[in-house]
Amino acid sequence: MTRFADMIDGYRRFRKGGWQEQRERWEQLAEGQSPKVMVIACSDSRSEPSQIFDTNPGEIFVVRNVAALVPPFETTPGRHGVSAALEFAVQFLKVEEIVVMGHGLCGGCHAALHKSMEGAEPGRGGFIADWIALLDDASAEVRAEHQDIDNREAGRAMEMAAVRVSIDNLRTFPCIQEKEKRGTLKLRGAFFAISDGVLHVMDDATGDFAPA
């Protein structure tokens, strides 16, 4: 397994290879960033957006969290990390597309579907429970539609439902409503299947997913 010492070795390879090869690109990035796409992805170590989409530094603005979730727009006191990143990307970087990318075998979605963190105390699963409560309605629907929630079909249904929840929640933000109405911002849903490496893209009209 990779440890920090191994990562330092990787950094040194990067300095000798990738950084030198893209020296001009890094000099441009020192002046600022102007990505056109924001990607909201899961923190899962197996679902790395820059690798999956084969992007270069500065091309995508990425936010990662448990289950790639976006909370609805709210102004209550608190630490609104995803909302702050979203606001920065939309209002200041002026991204033109936002991609919500879920993935297969997602632990957060599994916990939401099985309610395995319910009632846990903060520090012992409670923070996770509060976060994935964003999926309560969606998980209830998936449980109602699948007699056996332990099979992969139910798991994938939950993972894809989570992407739809985040897309719906994005549309509660006034700045996104305004830009979508003007046609200057597009929301997209995607799902990366870890087992076979296939990316699925969501159809805007139906909410269904199909291989890219």
Hunting for tokens 């679902």 — which residue is that?
A: 47
Task: Please state, in angstroms and rounded to a whole number, the distance separating the CA atoms of residues 81 and 68.
Answer: 13
Please tell me whether the overall predicted TM-score, pTM, comes out greater than 0.75 for this model: yes
Residue pair 40/52 in contact (Cβ under 8 Å)? The answer is no
Neighbours of 92 (CB within 10 A): 8
pLDDT of residue 1: 67
Long-range (24+ apart) CB contacts under 8 A made by 180-186 are 184/96, 185/90, 185/95, 185/96, 185/97, 185/98, 186/96, 186/97, 186/98
Report the pLDDT averaged over residues 97-119: 97
- pLDDT tens, position by position, 9-46: 999 999 999 888 888 888 999 999 999 999 999 999 99
**Domain locations in the chain as residue ranges:** 1-32, 33-211
Q: Which of 186, 190, 167, 36 shows the shortest CA–CA distance to 101?
A: 190
Task: Please state, in angstroms and rounded to a whole number, the distance separating the CA atoms of residues 75 and 64.
Answer: 21
Q: Name the token pair of 30.
A: 């020192």
pLDDT of residue 21: 83
Topology annotation, domain 33-211 = Beta-carbonic Anhydrase; Chain A (3.40.1050)
